[in-house]
Amino acid sequence: MPDIGKQLAEVPIDQMILNLALGIAKAQNALDQNSVQTIRTFNKEKIQIGTQSKSLLECGLLPSFYFFSEATIDVQVSMSMRSEESTTIGVEASASKEGSVAVAASLNFENTRKFEFSAEGSSSISVRLVTVPPPAQLLAFIESTPETPPS
């Protein structure tokens, strides 16, 4: 028969939290790399107005930066156990007297045990992603970089 305490102890909550944290770190890195690549693209892409040409970056277009502000794991585990036992005893006796005495007896014994175990579990993960301004050092670097002369 299953041990409910042992079943609860085996729920890998620590592994779920670790996987969530590693997943967020990996996703955050990918988002940051995407923003850096977008800066490079904005620096290469030029807009020509008359005789002047400026990059999208020089025109003030900046990529979005994102930050995971919250992560939640919701784990629900439900376990139940039920046991049932029943015993039935039946006795039957008969006697007859015809010349000699005859006695008969029967004994019926029935013992039943039923065990029922069920376990259910569910989990959900939610994260909140928000936009944040570009890092101040990046803005300072972009502003201090000389503009491309007209081509």
What tens digit of pLDDT does each residue of 92-121 get?
Answer: 888 887 777 777 888 888 889 988 888 787
Q: Which residues contact 123 (CB under 8 A, 6 or more apart)?
A: 16, 73, 74, 75, 76
- How many distinct structural domains can be found in the chain? 1
Quote the pTM value: 0.59
Average pLDDT of the residues in 123-140: 88
Q: pLDDT category, 16, cuts 50, 70, 90?
A: confident
109 lies in some domain = no
Task: Report the C-alpha gap between 46 and 150 in whole angstroms.
Answer: 11
55 lies in some domain = yes
134 lies in some domain = yes
- Give the range of the structural domain holding residue 72, as residue numbers without chain letter: 4-84+125-144
Task: Report the C-alpha gap between 111 and 146 in whole angstroms.
Answer: 93
Residue 122 or 11, more confident: 122
105 lies in some domain = no
Task: Report the C-alpha gap between 68 and 28 in whole angstroms.
Answer: 7
Share of the chain above pLDDT 70, in %: 90
